[in-house]
Structure 1
Amino acid sequence: MEKKGIEYLRNKLRARSGRVRHKFKQYDMKYIDNDRSITISDELRANYRAVLGWCTKSVDSIADRLVFREFDDDVYEINQIFQMNNPDVFFDSAILSALIGSCSFIYISEGVEGIPRLQVIEADKATGVLDPITGLLTEGYAVLKSDERGNPSIEAYFEPFRTTIINQGIYQAFNHNVPYPLLVPIIHRPDAVRPFGRSRITRAGMYYQKYAKRALERSDVTAEFYSFPQKYILGMETDAEKWDTWKATVSSMLRIDKDSDGGHPVVGQFTTSSMSPFMEQLRMAAAGFAGESGLTLDDLGFVSDNPSSSEAIKASHETLRIMAKKAQRCFSSGFLNVAFLACCLRDDYPYYRHEFTKIKVKWENVFEVDASGMGLLGDAIVKINQAIPDYFDKDEVRDMLGR
């Protein structure tokens, strides 16, 4: 296959990195919507700018449930490599970054004592040419370090059997015995249209969050008039003493004298706007976001009156469970590719990829089994093992219980 070259990959990263940084701003709740309002000025909106974390909740709701356990049938001692690379942080960082930016990248390099070093790189700092059959790259590019202005200062160009480091224009090549580039993508929900996957932060999710933020901003402005309703006076003489506006608003007693003819002005108050429509609008936005992300209204802060049981919670999160299982399948392929290349680098031997197909990635259960569920499952296992001896062993029982 003809190589694209480093300049092609640099241009590709520049074209894609802006959208990824936009998703990370949404996750960090730092993105400011620039929509203009026909009723509220920009200066007034700046004083009542709303912040919502629904997109953050959408990502964390799956990321916190994806817990990597181990590689099963580990004949190549893969688990040792990951144990030496701080697995508690490594897997969580790679998964979270992939859920936000649709993919993340693992940079594999030589480490101490012959154990490869694994480094997570966000999608706005790396790219490559993907082989859709294997899920590996044919060539890759990554920004390892940036200066204060965000310009790349240390770059890396990845090829089969070679990694080139570019440090301020100085090229330094490192040869290795790995038949693929040492940059592996971890992709969330890839398909034929989007081989580098899809982000958990969708356009529909961002719309519903922006819709809810606008409702909150309008409700904050309306609350000012709701707290201090506007008043009026009819029949006041033009030469009457003028009142201070703040005094007229907060005073508990106002004195208005009659004129020489015995008449007096009429004091009234404008009808205040109700806050109920804004709450209904916010709840409608939450319902739309919940349907898009697989969450429930309880997850978004609209707590129901009756507490749910463990089985009811699982039933309400069925869509979320299916999404999490799909993410496990996608990430399993990526982490197995990391293990394959890390073993090649550690042993200095170009293994065949099909030799690693029998190794399975095990995850903890998306939902833990409660005490009642464990009792029911235990009774079923005992009955099945009585009918078919040794049908379930302890490893299979642990996979079902998740503990």
Structure 2
Amino acid sequence: MTTPILLDHIQQLVADFGSSQTGLADNVLYYESQKRPISVGVSTPPEMRDLLAQIGWCRVYVDSVEERLDIEGFRMAGEPKADTRLWEWWQSNRLDEVSSYAHTEALIHGRAYIVVSAPDPSDPLADATVPVIQVESPSTMWADIDYRTHRVKRAVRVIKGDSPFGPPVPDYVTIYLPDSTTGLLQGGADGWTVDFHASHNLGVVPVVPLLNRSRLTERYGRSEITPELRSVTDAAARTMMNMQATAELMAVPQRLLFGIKPEEIADDPTNKRKVFEAYIARILAFEDPEGKAQQFTAAELRNFTEVMQELAKQAATYTGLPPQYLAFASDNPASAEAIRSAESRLVKKAERKQRIFGGPWEQAMRIALLVMDGNIPRDARRMEVLWRDPATPTFAAKADAVVKLATASTPDGRPIIPVERARIDLGYSAEERRQMETWDKDNPVTQLAALTRPAAPRFSDTPDDEPAAEAA
């Protein structure tokens, strides 16, 4: 039996969820390169509109940013290394690959959601020591964010069924509140039947929005596929269609034949295929001395290709993508320094996305600690996400720089960076670094160095050559 308060939550959240779906399908169409511009060119007949090409600049841009967003661990305040327990939770929930889906959804739609829950005791594959951390698309979830506190007041997850009449209706909803989580099936006297009810009394909704391009006046983020990028993508699609139409009609030189009888072109003038094959032949010879042939100049397609290059430059301006990503030539030489310079804006954008997305992931891990331990440790308040370097230097260049820093020393003889920092900079994972530490301990050279290392100096006011009793 559903309570009136729960019914009120369901009605309001399902209505808000339906309103939030506006524009999501359009975002997907642009990302999947399936959006067909309404205006495809005033000079193109309707029969040629099937030649409309799809330009994938939106997908190239979104994927180029997402490919540089890789999480490598979580570090508590004051700790030199990544937290092993949190990383175990990350790996157990397959968040290595699933987090990529969440980042992609957030870039496409402007938002995605992270959901945290306690392990299900009825699941034989579940680990009782690992919380369940999932990600959801805005096409299946909605969170009501408080304007005053900027926190989630309540959230809903909707599973739609296939309805033969009208739009799909929800078959199953999950309501997330600060004190409980309830799953409901469509049906029953009140319209809904409770499937499960879990009272967790966390004091917070276990749903964290992953927002992209949010502003002070925009609580739910915005798509990375901006209106200006959509406009140049549509213009490029129309230009490509017009170029194909021109190539179909005018790229092959047109010929005019005067004073030629049909049987001189082909042995069977009634066979249109033979006539056409003879017409496009390289050499045409006629016995009739009065016969003449003229040829029009083929259409020049350079104007279309130049327009495409200009549109690609505009797309690069809006997105920060390097020229080689959009397949147009630049004035810079193809050197390693030039490539890094061309990618500087894209790298900076990826670093900004890491900072924006890092906060929600940290909050999700704090909620996971609250779910499992009943409290959030103080050192978790200043938790930080460890991201992989979004830049793309060559491994040789990075190794050379790291070796120089690790082998160079300060005036007092200490290395500029320790070996552990050098391994982190080279991109080795936490597990690989632990294995390296084990190998270091088992290395005979390391063991010998530990035995022959001079003892630490004693801090005492008594000279070494005087007995302590005499000094007294």
Deviation of residue 378 (structure 1)? Answer: 3.3
Partner-residue secondary structure (3-state), 2:21: helix
Question: Residues of 1 paired with 2:392 and 2:201: CA distance?
Answer: 42
Select 2:42's aligned residue among 34, 38, 44: 38
- String of CA shifts for 1:99-139, please: whole Å, max 9, x gaps: 11111112223322322222221122211122468764111
> CA-atom RMSD, angstroms?
3.1
Question: Residues of 2 paired with 1:146 and 1:256: CA distance?
Answer: 75
Question: Residues of 1 paired with 2:249 and 2:236: CA distance?
Answer: 20
- Report if aligned partners of 1:136, 1:185 keep a CA contact under 8 Å in 2: no
Unaligned segments of structure 2, at least 5 residues? 77-81, 120-125, 187-191, 429-472
Aligned to 1:253: 284
Aligned to 2:24: 20
Against the structure 1 CA distance between its residues 72 and 388, is the aligned structure 2 distance closer, same or farther, given a 3 Å change threshold?
farther
Partner-residue secondary structure (3-state), 1:181: coil
- Report if aligned partners of 1:18, 1:124 keep a CA contact under 8 Å in 2: no
Letter in 1 for 2:65: I
- Report if aligned partners of 1:106, 1:186 keep a CA contact under 8 Å in 2: yes
Partner-residue secondary structure (3-state), 2:325: coil
Aligned to 1:78: 86
1:325 pairs with 2:333: no
Bigger drift between 19-28 and 6-15 goes to: 6-15
- Report if aligned partners of 2:406, 2:419 keep a CA contact under 8 Å in 1: no
1:11 pairs with 2:15: yes
Against the structure 1 CA distance between its residues 247 and 75, is the aligned structure 2 distance closer, same or farther, given a 3 Å change threshold?
closer
Against the structure 1 CA distance between its residues 175 and 40, is the aligned structure 2 distance closer, same or farther, given a 3 Å change threshold?
same
Aligned to 2:179: 161
- Report if aligned partners of 2:260, 2:288 keep a CA contact under 8 Å in 1: no
Letter in 1 for 2:418: D
- String of CA shifts for 1:300-336, please: whole Å, max 9, x gaps: 1235698633332221111111110110011110101
Against the structure 1 CA distance between its residues 381 and 194, is the aligned structure 2 distance closer, same or farther, given a 3 Å change threshold?
farther
**Largest Rg, 1 or 2:** 2
TM-score, normalised relative to structure 2: 0.74
TM-score, normalised relative to structure 1: 0.86
Letter in 2 for 1:366: P
Deviation of residue 181 (structure 1)? Answer: 1.4
Aligned length: 391
- Report if aligned partners of 1:178, 1:350 keep a CA contact under 8 Å in 2: no
Question: Residues of 2 paired with 1:84 and 1:117: CA distance?
Answer: 9
Against the structure 1 CA distance between its residues 195 and 382, is the aligned structure 2 distance closer, same or farther, given a 3 Å change threshold?
farther
Against the structure 1 CA distance between its residues 402 and 126, is the aligned structure 2 distance closer, same or farther, given a 3 Å change threshold?
same
- Report if aligned partners of 2:98, 2:135 keep a CA contact under 8 Å in 1: yes
- String of CA shifts for 1:29-78, please: whole Å, max 9, x gaps: 222222242221233211x1202211111011111111100001266932
Question: Residues of 1 paired with 2:148 and 2:68: CA distance?
Answer: 28
Partner-residue secondary structure (3-state), 1:186: strand
Matches within 5 A, 1:173-212: 173-212=197-236
Partner-residue secondary structure (3-state), 2:229: helix
Partner-residue secondary structure (3-state), 1:5: helix
Against the structure 1 CA distance between its residues 265 and 50, is the aligned structure 2 distance closer, same or farther, given a 3 Å change threshold?
same
Unaligned segments of structure 1, at least 5 residues? 259-263
Aligned to 1:261: none
Aligned to 1:147: 161
Question: Residues of 2 paired with 1:135 and 1:75: CA distance?
Answer: 28
Give me the identity figure in percent.
Answer: 22
Bigger drift between 114-123 and 242-251 goes to: 242-251
Against the structure 1 CA distance between its residues 210 and 256, is the aligned structure 2 distance closer, same or farther, given a 3 Å change threshold?
farther
- Report if aligned partners of 2:74, 2:83 keep a CA contact under 8 Å in 1: no
Against the structure 1 CA distance between its residues 36 and 313, is the aligned structure 2 distance closer, same or farther, given a 3 Å change threshold?
closer
